[in-house]
Amino acid sequence: MVISLSPTKYKLFLRRTTKYSPARLTLAGARKIDTHPSSKLTNKWVIVCDRSKAAALHNAARQVCPEALPEIEIAFKHDRFYWM
C-alpha cells in the first residue's frame, strides 16, 4: 500500500506515537517527496508498506492522531479498488 501524508500531519503523527510502537517504526520508513518542484508547500511524506503495517498505522491514528485518518483511509480505498 502507498500512504501519503501532508508534512503537518506526518510530523504530528510521528510526535504522538511512542518510540517503539509498530506505527512509529512504519512512519520512520517514510520518504519526503516534492510533488511540484517550484513550491515547498506541495511536498508529501509517502509510506510504502503492506496491509498489516497500514492497519497498524490506521489503528494508531485512531488512538493518537485522528487528523491523519482521512489520508490513511484514502490509501485503503485505493488499495481495494486496484486489487480486489
Q: Does the predicted TM-score (pTM) go above 0.85?
A: no
Strands of the sheet with 31-34, listed across from one edge? 2-5, 43-48, 31-34
The 10s digit of each residue's pLDDT in 8-47 is 999 999 999 999 999 999 999 999 987 766 655 578 999 9
Phi, psi of 6 (to 5 degrees): -65, 155
The 10s digit of each residue's pLDDT in 39-78 is 555 789 999 999 899 999 999 999 999 999 999 999 988 8
Is the C-alpha dihedral spanning 63, 64, 68, 72 positive or negative?
negative
Among 25, 28, 62, 59, which residue's Cα sits nearest to residue 45? Answer: 28
